[in-house]
């Protein structure tokens, strides 16, 4: 078993399936004698480096993974490679561990190459709720936790920092044990239809405020129509705070 954590502790587990064989990792001081041992060591090292690069790019912290390397059974019939094996992966930077495959080749006139699939269980601390959250409820820090989760087959953009969810509103009922995604959350309503709001207008360094009525719901940054209660004029304004909007022609 070979599992990796950012701290440097490592352990791998290998699985055997029909028509495929998997070898355990040899100690660093051991010499790989057969082609399968050579392939196994190279693919484990290459896949680990690719995952570390992906995790660094995504800003993940506290992650760890387990790699399962599936080596074709016919690899046992190949001769040990006298030179350094090469492992290449199609595509550019690794963006998902759902499906990883390496083309392993032994250079030279008597060389060979084969395809080696790798399955990774990648555990990343992600944001979850610690109790049921109803639809339309605004999330606060007491409702959120970070918990390791296998993201190998996860869909959507998972949240990995608590402040990414704090202050947002749930679009649906949220339950513990499941990671939060951006698609489940939205900015809270700062202005509601028919609500009295403060309409700000700024010109030449002077700020004027007057009462208005919102004609539709609005979240931070939304442009909505409001009716000036003094002049009864309808103007477009940007939502800048709870119950506060600012005219578009403001400096």
What pLDDT does 79 receive?
A: 85
Distance CA 36, CA 188 (A): 56
Is residue 48 within 8 A of residue 25, CB to CB? The reply is no
12-25: b or e for each residue (b if 16 or more CB lie within 10 Å)?
Answer: bebeeeeebbbbeb
Is residue 145 within 8 A of residue 88, CB to CB? The reply is no
Residue 57, CB half-sphere, CA atoms under 13 Å: how many?
A: 10
- pLDDT tens for 172-181 read 999 999 999 9
- pLDDT tens for 201-235 read 988 778 899 999 999 999 989 999 999 999 999 99
Is CATH 2.60.40.10 the classification given to domain 190-247? no
Burial degree of 9 (CB within 10 A; 0-12, 13-18, 19+): exposed
List the CATH code of the domain at 124-186.
Answer: 3.90.1210.10
Q: Evaluate if pTM is beyond 0.85.
A: no
Give the mean model confidence (pLDDT) for residues 101-129: 93
**Which residue did the predictor score with more confidence, 11 or 217?**
217
What pLDDT does 90 receive?
A: 75
């Amino acid at each position: 078993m070979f599992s990796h954590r950012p701290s440097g502790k490592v352990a791998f587990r290998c699985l055997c399936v029909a028509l495929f064989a998997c070898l355990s990792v040899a100690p660093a001081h051991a010499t790989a004698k057969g082609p399968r041992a050579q392939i196994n060591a190279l693919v484990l090292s290459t896949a680990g480096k690719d995952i570390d690069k992906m995790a660094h790019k995504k800003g993940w912290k506290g992650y760890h993974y387990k790699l399962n390397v599936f080596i074709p059974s016919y690899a046992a019939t190949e001769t040990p490679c006298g030179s350094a094996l090469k492992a290449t992966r199609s595509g550019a930077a690794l963006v998902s561990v759902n499906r990883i495959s390496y083309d392993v080749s032994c250079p030279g006139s008597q060389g060979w190459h084969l395809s080696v699939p790798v399955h990774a269980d990648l555990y990343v601390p992600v944001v979850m709720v610690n109790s049921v959250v109803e639809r339309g409820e605004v999330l606060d820090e007491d409702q959120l936790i970070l918990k390791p989760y296998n993201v190998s087959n996860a869909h959507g953009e998972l949240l990995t920092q608590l402040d990414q969810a704090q202050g947002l509103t749930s679009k649906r009922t949220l339950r513990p044990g499941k990671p939060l995604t951006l698609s489940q959350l939205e900015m809270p309503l700062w202005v509601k239809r028919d609500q009295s709001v403060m309409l700000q207008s700024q010109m030449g360094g002077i700020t004027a405020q007057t009462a208005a009525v919102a004609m539709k719901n609005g979240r931070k940054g939304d442009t909505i129509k409001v009716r000036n209660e003094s002049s009864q004029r309808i103007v477009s304004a940007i939502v800048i705070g709870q119950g506060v909007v600012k005219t578009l022609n403001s400096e």
